[in-house]
Structure 1
Amino acid sequence: MRTAGAGPDTAGAGTDGTGADTAGARTGTAAKAGPRRVEAGERGRTTVSDRAVRRIAEHAAREALPPGDVGAVSAKVGRRGGRTGVSVALTLPYRAGVAQSGHRVRRHVARRTAALTGLPVSRPRVRVRGLTPYAGSLPGGPVAAAAPGPAGGPARRPWSERRVPAALVAFLGLSVCATLLYDVVCVRIAGRTAAPWRSRALGWLSSHGPGGFPVALSAAVTLLGAGMVLLALTPGRRRSFAMSTADGRVRATLDRSAAEALVHEAVSGVSGISQVRVRVGRRRARIRAAVEFGDREIAHRQVVTATDQALGACGLGRTPRPRVRVRTAPGWRDPGQRERVGPGSPARPGSGVS
């Protein structure tokens, strides 16, 4: 009886104690396990700011060429359609191949920026703002000039974006045309009366002649709008020249000041030439110089040769035709006339022999 009585009590106590211990153990295990682990793709989003992308692009542009070659680097970043566009403006050392150096910078900036940011980078735009003097020789020798582009694939002229003016003009024109079209449709199809603003405008125009100030102001605004439309249809960027590249998908431009600096340096290196003035356009390159000594015809031919070589080294898609004018300086003396005058002969007035 004592054993039977103790059995249920003991069993009940054992059962209750074991259940409590098991529940406590499960609670402790759950507490030690902590929160559920979140996968890497579900932890959030990493955003790379435009300022960071701009700094990386500027540093990558300096890394593309030997140290000290790239100077005055500035970059712009724009995002469109899930892709990041980078535009880099820089200066290069003189006597470096502009086209090939720009291609190196473009390729390195695209690869380096995409690797460090993880963003899809479209073709970077490289703008050479000028040339800087280089004291020593370029490491690895001078960079060769760029090869001309493939036949049948001429270089395309760069177009100015003009995003803000184009967007404003399009928005204003669309708003005015949509409002006027809505009122005309309501009058013609729905049989409603014309809007009060249109009736007042027509009445005011019928009572004022073409010589009034408001009409003249309206004409000026119309001409201004036509000029803005003309600007939107023209490429602009008249100081940028398109360059020929080996790859038709790559676009390169050269600033006008850089081309003028190349031609000026080449012409100034001709013996006896001074007072050089260079003006390079899209179709013609005008060179004015003065000869201090030597034969004028020989100096003219040397200037033409130097100009052709300098323009060819620029790698332009359309090489401008040179127009060279060499004049004599005030103190110039004709070498042929000097030889005709003997050493013992008296100096004739105007002969240039002192």
Structure 2
Amino acid sequence: MSVPAADRGTTTVADRAVRRIVERAATEALAPGEVRTGRTSASVRGRRARVDVTVTLPYPLVLDESGERVRSHVADRTALLTGLAVPSARVRVRELRVRAAGEGSAVAEEQVAVEEAAVAVERAGGEPRARRPWSPRRAPVAVAALAAATACAVLLYDVVAVHAAGRAPARWRSDLMDWLTTHGPHAGAWPGAAAAFAVLCLGVWLLVLAVTPGARGRLPLRPPLPGVRAVIDRSAVASLLRDAVSGLPGITRVRVRVGRRRATVRAGLAFGELEPAHRALTETAERALASCGAARPPRLRVRLRTEPAWRAPAQGGDEG
């Protein structure tokens, strides 16, 4: 008797195999050698796969457009080679690296893609609205769910033991009921009121986590097309600002801090005039910050201080 092919066995695609395909697909999205992968994860559930890859992109380029190209290529390539549906493919831009000489053709291709995206946006009726990414909040949800599941399991075990096996109620449950009877909020005792207030605070905290976007370490980028979302890590923006201002003459000890609403650049001046150096530092940082493509660029604050060995430049009239 012949058995149908569909009933002879199953084919399982391991998470590790999907992860290898995702890493290779990310490097194929742009020109050869431009994309470098970092931490990659893949989770296969039935016929669906969720993938997450961290990449390093070359500088300069348009981050939102390039990130979307990497994400779409990873999703399509993984679905084609594995036969799985890829409803969620997340790409995180962790770092930027300076392009080597001879990579100008890739920059031209990026500029052409940006122009085409701008035309498509204009035809669609204006610039799409950028939104902050939502955080999965895995740790708080896991802790709360584990604590609730443990408490319910212990209580259910004791109730079943009493009604099914005829055992006496556990002493801890009897003591707890007696304590709640005499120390509840209606009795005016402070322990019960404190416990009720703690439970209230926990509930409010969970509600706040549920309705706020989170992902505070990422900044939303200007979407090139409707329905396209792109983000960049604040650490990548800080590295971009640091590399841009470190090459200025006389600038040393550059420290950059990028927040959600403000970017602060602190630097030291080893030689040269203070005012022109401060002006050049501000203009360079503004250009670098604008090139990131952030939907709501953080406000820039520049602080320049002279080093201990700095001396004021000699004036022409003081010579001789």
Counterpart position of 2:165: none
- Is the alpha carbon distance of 1:171 and 1:327 closer, same or farther for their aligned partners in structure 2, counting shifts above 3 Å? closer
Matched, 1:258 2:236: yes
Shift of residue 57 of structure 1?
Answer: 0.8
- Cα distance change of structure 1 residues 172 and 152 upon mapping to structure 2, 3 Å threshold: farther
The aligned amino acid for 1:48 is: V
- 1:201 and 2:183 matched: no
CA contact (8 A) 1:66 1:139 kept: no
Residue 101 of structure 1 corresponds to which residue in structure 2? 66
For 2:246, the equivalent position in structure 1 comes to 268
Helix, strand or coil at the partner of 1:122: strand
**C-alpha spacing 1:300/1:126, structure 2 compared with 1 (3 Å):** same
Note the C-alpha offset of 1:61.
1.1
Q: Which residue of 1 aligns with 2:276?
A: 298
Matching of residues 223-302 of structure 1 within 5 Å: 223-302=201-280
Corresponding position: 1:340 with 2:317:
yes
Q: Residue by residue, what CA displacement relative to the aligned partner does 1:73-99 show, whole Å, maximum 9, x if unpaired?
A: 232234679643222112234434433
Distance 1:312 1:81, change over 3 A: farther
- Counterpart for residue 24 of structure 2: 59
1:123–1:244 CA distance, 2 compared to 1 (3 A): farther
Q: Which residue of 2 aligns with 1:310?
A: 288
Q: In the alignment, is the contact (CA less than 8 A) between 2:128 and 2:223 conserved in 1?
A: no
Q: Give the equivalent residue in structure 2 for 1:348.
A: none
Select which of 160, 164, 168 maps to 2:135: 160
Q: Which amino acid aligns with 1:209?
A: A
Q: Flag the 1:245–1:239 CA change in 2: closer, same or farther, 3 A.
A: same
**Amino acid in the other structure paired with 1:289:** A
The answer (yes or no) to whether the contact 1:106–1:123 under 8 Å persists in 2 is no
Paired AA for residue 91 in structure 2: V
Q: What RMSD, in angstroms, separates the aligned Cα atoms of the two structures? A: 3.5
Between the aligned partners of 1:40 and 1:88, the Cα distance in structure 2 is 35
Match of 1:116 among 81, 96, 101: 81
CA distance change for structure 1 residues 271 and 98 in 2, over 3 Å: closer, same or farther?
same
Query: How many angstroms does 1:326 deviate by?
Result: 2.1
Distance of 2:177 and 2:128 partners within structure 1: 52
| Partners of 1:166 and 1:232 within 8 A in 2 | no
Letter in 2 for 1:85: R
Per-residue deviation, 1:334: 3.6
Contact 1:243 1:317 in 2 (8 A): yes
The amino acid across from 1:315 in the alignment is G
Q: Calculate percent identity across the aligned residue pairs.
A: 44
Contact 1:58/1:74 (CA < 8 Å) preserved in 2?
Answer: no
Q: Larger deviation: 68-77 or 249-258?
A: 68-77
Aligned pair count reads 288
User: Greater Rg, structure 1 or structure 2?
Assistant: 1
Using the TM superposition, name which of 248-257 and 293-302 deviates more. 293-302
What is the TM-score when the length of structure 2 is the normalising length?
A: 0.74
CA contact (8 A) 1:89 1:128 kept: yes
Contact 2:18 2:82 in 1 (8 A): yes
Preserved contact between residue 90 and residue 130 of structure 1 (Cα < 8 Å):
yes
User: What are structure 2's unaligned runs of at least 5 residues?
Assistant: 156-173
Deviates more, 1:156-165 or 1:317-326: 156-165
- Choose from 297, 310, 315 the match for 1:319: 297
After TM superposition, the structure 1 = structure 2 runs for residues 59-78 of structure 1, keeping only pairs within 5 Å, are 59-78=24-43
Cα separation, 1, equivalents of 2:199 and 2:102: 57
Unaligned runs of 5+ in 1: 1-34, 180-195, 345-354
The amino acid that maps onto 1:229 is L
Deviations 1:276-305 (A, max 9, x none): 211111211111222333332222222222
Does the Cα contact within 8 Å between 1:263 and 1:310 map onto a contact in 2? yes
Query: Is 1:140 aligned with 2:105?
Result: yes
